[in-house]
Each structure stands twice: as structure tokens, then as C-alpha cells.
Amino acid sequence: MLKRRPVVLLIFLSLLAVLISVSLVSAATEVDTSELRGAVTLEGVRAHQAALQAIADSNGGTRVATSPGYEESGEYVEGLLSGAGYQVDRQNFDFPFFQENSPPTLEQVSPNSVVYPPNDVAGFFTMEYSAGGDVTALIQAVDVTIPPAATPSSTSGCEASDFTGFTAGRIALIQRGTCNFSVKVENAAAAGAAGVIIFNEGQAGRTEGFNGTLGGPVANIPSVGASFAIGEELYNLSQQGDVEVHIIVDAISETRSTFNVIATTPGGRDDRVVVVGAHLDSVAEGPGINDNGSGTATILEIALQMADLGIEPRNKVVFAFWGAEEAGLHGSAYYVSQLSASQIKKIAVNLNFDMVGSPNYARFVYDGDGSATPLAGPNGSKNIEQVFLEYFGEQNLETEPTAFDGRSDYGPFIAVGIPAGGLFTGAEEINPDNGIAYDPCYHQACDTFANNNDDAIDEMSDAAAHAVLTFAETTSAVNGTDKGKGKGKWANAMEYRGSHLLK
């Protein structure tokens, strides 16, 4: 009998291997998404975009969070989803609101008279969440390095000790660098600065005036982000004598209230939740029909068609329409902040669809494994990317990777370790194929129903429907690891909060 044990064990292990193999094959069985993809049509998505355009037209041309246009957008989505049988909840939250009322001013009063161009990469921009103010004062450089180091490494203004000897009432001249802009401004205010000029650090790719964010109201002083050329000029002059500068920021920076719309399938496993998100708000300047009426319309149509087809997903699906994304991802951040540790672990994936109809589009897929961009997503993000890549491959459609840089609502999810992925068709960046911006109307009044590419909407909505149903029906965990592992890693690595630079 002793001699037979290895044989018995071998037979047992062989049977076990077969069972495991069968289980894995079953779990990986491809979901047939053709019926849903056929139901999610270009016409259906465009009809929702037309409705959002009509709402904006009736409300001053905008659907910005807290506006009547945003309220009506929410009511439109809520009504359709409630009628389709979803559990629909309005999640209210407060957020830091910022609105610039007129172009800012930055001018050198002495030793020369120079007016720098506002809202221009050759000049300067108001920092998002800067306080309003009208200040004329001498500048004082804070730990500035001219010429700059070969690689981005400046710690100018990052420590309170940088302001030792700073004269209260002066305007702090600070170099962009390693810490968040908010830290620099807070330290300057604590040292008694009357205003702040943060100029770009000076390396290749870091020379232009920039649109940074403080993340919220942090100090009651005006703050701007200027080009390296302006900062270098002011610094060099200050080494020779007094330099007086005039700053005007005309802005509102305060706390306001808005909401997310959360629609949940009645059934499905609640320990493997699929959160499908798109932001519902536009910028103040326009109706936002590509950004992000395209993503809103796409996931709304997917949700409605899943209900109409009677699809009862194996896993619970949450369709989330985020508020105040344009102000800094506040809706999605609030949603994630309200999740318990247990609820975070139960979210299998976050799928994000922000701008999927850009006129001069490319098919961007978020680079979950970090193979082509600096930052990989949390464990499982590679699997999400692969679902999209395999789908587009089957359709003989080329794709390009896009980075997890913090510019959209996946940010708060990956910050707590939730796997994420999604699609994007491009914003203000230049398409190298033709030298034209992917979306020439990005964040402008011309982002209307006409600001669209039908092929982009058709292709991306099908890919989105495929991914949503694939993860809604999966029988296995997406990442298979503890989502808490590495918590905070991604948040610290991301450069943006929404469309604004953090540091």
C-alpha cells in the first residue's frame, strides 16, 4: 500500500488540475455583448447629447455645477433611469467653488513698465481657488534656482523655513517644483506675503505659463502661475534692486453645494460591484456636449438599453454621473470618501468615460499596466485595459495608451487601490497625425452638439458597452489582491486634479 500512495496522489492531483482548469475556463468564458452593442446606437447617444444641448440653451449656455443647467441635467438623467427601474439616488455634497469674473493682471511697475499677457502660455494664469485681490508691492524671491537644475527638483516654497527673513507685505516669487502649489501658497501666506507668483521651473516642457490649482481655498491672497521667462526676468531684476509688481485677481472662491446622480441595478452580487462613471457637469464657459456630454450620454444609453433588454447582471452595476468634476473631481472624490473599507474592497472595477466624441479623435485606452506611461493603475487595471485592447483588436481598430495622470474621475478610485480603466478621445493636446487639437473646442463655448465625430461616438460607445457587460457578468475577481495594498501611492504620483496641475 505504501508504494501505491504516489500513484493515488498523482491521480488526485491530475483530477484537481482538471477541475481547476475547467473552473478557470468557465470564469474566463467570453461574454457575448453583441446584443447590447447593437442596442446602444449612435442615434441613441446623440439624442441624449441633443437633450443636454437644449438644457444648456435654456440656461445661459452652460451646465456648470450649481447652475440651473446642471440641475436640469440631473433631473433628465434621474427621470430616465428611474423609469427604467434603477434605484436612483441623489448624493449631495459641498465643494470648493471657484469662478474668475474677469481676466487677471500681472504687471511690472518698476524698474520697468511691463504688462504681461493674461491667460496665455507666454504669460500667466490665475491659480484655481486663488483669493481675489488687488496688490501692488515689492517682490521677494523664495529659494529660487536660476538657471534651473537639469531635472525638475526645485523645493522653492515647499518648507516654512524657505521664508526665513521674508518681509511681510511683499509678493513672494516662487519657483514651480516638487510640492503642491497649495503648500507653496500656504507657506507664503503664513509668512505674511501679500500675493504669490509661482513661475514655471524652466526645464524642457516646464517653461510656459500654466493653469494650476490650489485644490481649494487655502489663503486669502491672490496667486498666479507664470511662465519661466517672466519669473527669470523678475528674479534677475530683483538681484539688482527693488522690483515692484501689480497683481489683480477678480474671482470668487467659496463653498457651494451640488450633487452626484447614482443609479444602481436592482440585483447582482454586491461583493463585486462595477462602478461606471462619467461627469455630468460642464465648465462655465460652455454647454460641454463633448466634455462630458459624450460620456454622460454613452453610459446613460448603456444603462437604459441594459434595462430594456432585461439584462440582469451577475454583479451589481452602479452608473454614476459625477458633479463638480470640472472644479477638481469633487463628486467622485466625495463618493469614494463616503465608502467604508469594506465597501471599497467590494468595488471590483471603476470604468471611466470622459470625452468619447472628440472631433479630431484618437482611440485612447487608459494604460492600466503602465507599459507605455509613467504610472500603472492598481492591481487589476491591466485586466481592464486588456478587455478594451482585445475588443478593439477584434474590430481592427487601432488604439493608443493614455496615462493615469489624475485628469478625470478615475483619480479618487485608484487613489484607494480600486482597479480602473476607460476610454478617452483627446482634449486640448495636438493630434500628431494632423497638427490639430483632438478637441479644438475644449472648455469653450463652441463645445456644442456640433462639436462631435460620429465615428468616435459609434466606436467608443460600443467598446464601452462591451466592457460594462463583460465586467457585469464576470464570474471571477478582477484583481485578486488586497485593494488596500499601496493605498496612497497613486494619489501622490498624479500630476493633475481634473484639468488643473497640482504641482
> Residue 491 carries which DSSP code?
H
Instruction: Give me the residue label for grid cell 446602444.
Output: 40
Query: Residue 136: what residue type?
Result: T
CA 427 to chain centre: 12
Residues near 42 by beta carbon (within 8 Å), at least 6 away in sequence: 454, 457, 458, 461
> d(Cα 105, Cα 491) in Å, to the nearest integer?
33
Contact between 52 and 297 under an 8 Å Cβ cutoff? The reply is yes
Q: Which has the closest alpha carbon to 52: 71, 39, 36?
A: 71
Distance of CA 465 to the CA centre of its chain: 21
| Residue whose grid cell is 478557470 | 24
Determine the 3-state secondary structure of 229 from DSSP.
helix
| Structure-block grid coordinates of residue 147 | 538657471
Question: Cα-flanking dihedrals φ and ψ of residue 173, to 5°?
Answer: -100, 110
Considering 78, 100, 325, 326, which one is annotated as catalytic? 325
| CA-CA-CA-CA dihedral for 482, 338, 263, 257, to nearest 10 | -150
Q: Which three cell numbers stand for residue 179?
A: 510640492
Locate 485 and state its grid cell: 495594498
Q: What is the DSSP string of 300-311?
A: HHHHHHHHHTT-
- For residues 503 and 498, give the distance between their C-alpha atoms in angstroms, rounded to a whole number: 13
Residue 75 is a catalytic residue: no
User: Which of 221, 220, 217, 197 minimizes the C-alpha distance to 209?
Assistant: 197
Kindly give, in sequence order, each residue whose CB lies less than 8 Å from that of residue 82, ignoring residues fewer than 6 positions away.
Answer: 88
Residue found by looking up cell 428611474 in the block:
82
Which positions are catalytic? 325
